Structure 1
């Protein structure tokens, strides 16, 4: 039997602070909350998934309990480590309550047109950016995720799925395009969930720590999950033959324990990945090959677009920075203004 983990003094203090806030808020609103007499002692847990106002929490023994959340908690996401309390009267539906969320070492945020910034998952060590030959291979989308990875301090891994659909000529062309990213010390893998190509190499990167699959709809994230975890009942769908666009198969982020070790989070596919929540300066920092040239422009407020004496434009002209990546950078800057909702 797994040894029960004890809470630290810091964890107890956090629970007490949240409890005090809860009581004060409920006193003002007259809110109904859990009866303290129906709850057991606090214990640590891991959030496997979040569903509206509820979350699936895994206890120290590996059992999953669906919990509600205290009103004092502003955010709970997949990958969070939490302090929760078990109900003394299990119902098989909501059998516990989350008291506090531990400090996160990293969090992946996704801008939402209606809701602003939405956390996708927390405590991630490796961001696996999944693209595919179909529905379309977009290096601009890859660059957007790389900027997000650089700004959150999460190590990225570029994965091109459905490589079995490439003929020799197309594969040689793709390898030439990926060489640009390898020169920047980004690891790139060609995979096929159908044929198994490259899957053993992928497992070497994810056998420890917590990784997350991110990418557009239809790139085969769920198929890769099934290949990594045989028997997993993840729903997969073919790319729409009418629109050529991917169909959403994963609707919420979910954490899985891999058979060979490590944890993997499958996140919902998206059509686009906006960066309007970042400043232009942060996007510039997110292109790592730009960094050696920053601070060397003629003007301190250089926008790196048409300003005279721009060191980055000079580096592009001298082939020290690729034209392709610089064009992608300009496209991101343009989209940031166009994508940002007026109410934010």
Structure 2
């Protein structure tokens, strides 16, 4: 096998180094085509590498190979390969922007089937400690069917879940208690709150503490 010249090899190694991740952080917000990553208190606006949108399979090759040959391409089963809560590795452009090049293994994920004919998953959030489903008691009226779907999604992944109802100062407590009694009997903690009246706020903080 012909040996590379020193200058050629250094150029190849430099190209590889520039594509290697230089930082690690957590995705906390998604914008259209961009991802906000918190890296040790620093916020970066990142795009993602095109290779994350497909799974590429390479043969074993020399690490300085400039043109690695792809032997297979596998479709991903998710609408977006990066989700809120993902711990990612990225290349840092030096101006508070970067490119996500790797998604680290997830502890868990909350998913639902994406709209459309294709059998794709839409990942809502990952690496979750608990699921807190928040609904207003009125204005707008609570959608109990949507609440059921969120709780079912949490159950399917083994995540603990609780229900929080807000704006309790605008309704009769008895009417909400009647609706939420089913969830209490099923074992879900239900918290009735009112920001205007300061009701249930401290208990809500305690439920979120350390999570």
TM-score normalised by structure 2 residue count = 0.70
Match of residue 7 from structure 2 = none
User: Are 1:124 and 2:128 counterparts?
Assistant: yes
Residues 1:84 and 2:96 aligned together: no
SS in 1 for 2:128: coil
List per-residue Cα deviations over 1:178-203 (Å, max 9, x = no partner).
22222221100001233322111111
Tell me if 1:63 matches 2:61. no
Partner of 1:197: 199
Offset, 1:133: 2.0
Name the structure where helix makes up a greater proportion of residues: 1
RMSD: 2.2
Task: Give matches, 1:156-305, under 5 Å.
Answer: 156-166=161-171, 170-209=172-211
Residue in 1 that maps onto 2:52: 73
Partner of 2:32: 52
Match of 1:153 among 151, 154, 158: 158
Pick the structure with more strand per residue: 2
Pairwise CA distance, 1:36: 5.1
Task: Please state how far the C-alpha of 1:111 moved relative to its aligned partner.
Answer: 3.4
> How many residues are treated as equivalent by the alignment?
167
Unaligned runs of 5+ in 1: 1-34, 210-344
User: Which ranges of structure 2 fall in alignment gaps of 5 or more residues?
Assistant: 1-14, 54-80
Do 1:40 and 1:86's aligned partners in 2 also have CA atoms closer than 8 Å? no
How far residue 161 of structure 1 moved from its aligned partner, in angstroms, is 1.0
1:26-74, Cα deviation, whole Å (9 max, x unpaired):
xxxxxxxxx65656753321111122332111112x1011122111213
User: What secondary structure is seen at the aligned counterpart in 2 of 1:73?
Assistant: helix
Runs of 4+ in 1 over 4 A off after TM superposition: 35-41
Q: 1:72 aligns to what SS in structure 2?
A: helix
Alpha-carbon shift at residue 150 of structure 1 (Å)? 0.3
Distance 1:133 1:42, change over 3 A: same
Q: State the Cα distance separating 1:174 from its structure 2 match.
A: 2.2
